[in-house]
Structure 1
Amino acid sequence: MRAFTPARIALGRAGHSQTTDTVLAFGLAHAQARDAVHAPLARAAIGQALEAAGFARLDAHSAAADRQQYLRRPDLGRRLDPASRARLAAARAVPGPDVVFVIADGLSAVAAERHALPLLQAVRPLLPGWRFGPVVVAEQARVALGDEIGAEMGTLQVVMLIGERPGLSSPDSLGIYLTHGPRVGRTDAERNCISNVRPQGLSYAEAAARLAFLLRGALALGRSGVDLKDDSGPALPPPGQS
């Protein structure tokens, strides 16, 4: 069983206690999860990597001034600060893009730094002919910040690539949230979520295939969320088949 899961099962014991290596491993995992929550987003490095990969980018910041305020005031993480609102509005194109991707720290900046760009590179070839807006790199961001970003940029759909709440075996899990027709006030029921994107969870290729399917489905349906089902099936063929 232990060969097939990172879950803490069949740990063994030393007398009536856990083994020393088990206790130390738990302490390390807990420290990694705490560090992931408080780590700052490497915005400049992400921006350089995006530009090197051929993506235009813009920077944005929520109304939460710093990490402590972000953690204590979730509402501030859902709205842009005035400078970012003006910057995004100035970059608005006519006609608007089909989709804008947002790379956001969320509760794990490490996840955004490690997995957002590989996912973007995997999904771009799956959407030929689509108009991509600049990738927005957002700090102190909650999921709903994408609604205001999308509205300011006049995009048809917005996709948040955001660090998920760390677990004791996954401090770098990336979440994907798709919203069709973004505007302030959208609810979570109006979004589609793909979670646990990382090499030890959902692969980039599988996540990209599901996301492309949902983007095309939302465009055809005219909405996202509970009315849009992921019937994409497996992205890759079984082993041994072309």
Structure 2
Amino acid sequence: MNNELQHRHPIQEDPWSSLKAFTTARIALGRTGTAIPLREVLAFKLAHAHARDAVYSKLDITLLMEQLQPFHTGTLLLHSSAADRQEYLQRPDKGRRLDADSIKTLRTLPAALLQKDVAVIIADGLSATAMNIHTLPLLTQLLPLLKAVGISIGPICLTEQGRVAIGDEIGELLKTKMTLMLIGERPGLSAADSMGAYLTFNPRVGNTDEARNCISNIRQEGLQYDTAAGKICYLLQEAIRLQLSGVGLKDNYESRERLE
């Protein structure tokens, strides 16, 4: 019976199936009869499950603290004013501000840890899975580049239940020239583990998104760690040189590489 049904409704490939070699997007699914093939339906359900898992995933604090220790920058554990994941998802505003304990931690730091060029912040965002996977490989590439060009960084801030704008408050309290927010991006149905990097010059509470530069899709199947690290280092240098970030700061990193 199964063989008979398979013969009556074979999977018909789309003419553009060859394009699947260039993207992980869900294209050229084919059809069987008037329906999407069962394998594609099941793959969609699996991708959706991975995306949901990523949204509710947690930072592996123990692992990340161990991985960050060799960088000798010091690590601070901070938390937004969102008490838990449910509140974080329902109240985006609370993910943008620190809780009272975290504010106290930053305000009582010794002066030697303040007024650095860049505050590096690691936040779960909407995919802690991404941060657990990509933080160490990216920083292994990035931090030596920053050191080589003379950019100083303060203690790395591990921030739970954080959104992008929480970096403004952290940078303001640390009195840094810039913030570099590494955060788990909203998972899609082709990538549940994508990291984003947001750069903001003169971080202050109340900054809006046009004041930031974003580098997205940092992952093994997307923007490679070495390229992402190079872009971030370039943009940080240019932001400090020009005293700005956001729409006024252009990413000419690839153009510069071609000239070299």
Instruction: State the TM-score, normalizing by the size of structure 1.
Output: 0.94
- Read off the aligned partner of 1:57 and give its amino acid letter: T
Task: Quote the Cα distance in structure 2 between the aligned partners of 1:107 and 1:51.
Answer: 25
Indicate whether 1:35 and 2:53 are aligned.
yes
Q: 1:236 to 1:46 in 2, by over 3 A?
A: farther
2:95 is aligned, of 56, 74, 77, to 77
Residues in 2 aligned to 1:184 and 1:16: alpha-carbon distance in whole angstroms: 53
Kindly provide the amino acid, as one letter, of the partner of residue 7 in structure 1.
Answer: A
Alignment of 1:166-177 (within 5 A): 166-177=187-198
SS in 2 for 1:213: helix
SS where residue 75 of structure 1 aligns? helix
Alpha-carbon offset, residue 92 of structure 1: 5.0
Please give the residue correspondences for 1:27-176 in structure 2 after superposition, counting only pairs within 5 Å. 27-91=45-109, 93-94=111-112, 96-127=115-146, 128=148, 129-176=150-197
Among candidates 15, 20, 27, match of residue 9 of structure 1: 27
Whichever residue aligns with residue 155 of structure 1, its letter is: T
Once residues 110 and 24 of structure 2 are traced to their aligned partners in structure 1, the CA distance between those partners, rounded to angstroms, is 45
| CA distance in 2 between partners of 1:176 and 1:56 (Å) | 20
Contact 1:100 1:132 in 2 (8 A): yes
Letter in 1 for 2:166: L
Q: 1:18 aligns with which of 26, 36, 42?
A: 36
Q: Which moved more, 1:175-184 or 1:51-60?
A: 51-60
Q: Give 1:228's aligned residue.
A: 249
For the structure 1 residues 236 and 4, does the alpha-carbon distance in structure 2 shift closer, same or farther, using more than 3 Å as the test?
farther
- SS in structure 2 of the partner of residue 226 of structure 1: helix
Q: Which runs of 4+ in 1 moved over 3 A?
A: 52-55, 234-237
- TM-score norm. by structure 2 comes to 0.87
Query: Superposition RMSD on alpha carbons, in Å?
Result: 1.7
CA contact (8 A) 1:206 1:236 kept: no
Deviations 1:89-129 (A, max 9, x none): 22253561111110100000011111122111111122222
Structure 1 residue 181, shift from structure 2 partner: 1.0
Identity between Structure 1 and Structure 2 (%): 52
SS at match of 1:40: coil
Deviations 1:36-81 (CA, angstroms, capped at 9, x unpaired):
0011211221111111444421110000000000000000000000
Runs (5+) with no aligned partner, structure 1: 238-242
**Residues paired across the two proteins, number:** 238
Q: Which runs of 5+ in 2 are unaligned?
A: 1-18
Q: Retained in 2: the 8 A contact 1:93–1:154? A: no
**Alpha-carbon contact 1:100-1:135 (below 8 Å) kept:** yes
Q: Is the 8 A contact 1:2 1:9 kept in 2?
A: yes
Q: Is the 8 A contact 1:210 1:235 kept in 2?
A: no
- The amino acid of 2:224's aligned partner reads S
Which structure: larger Rg? 2
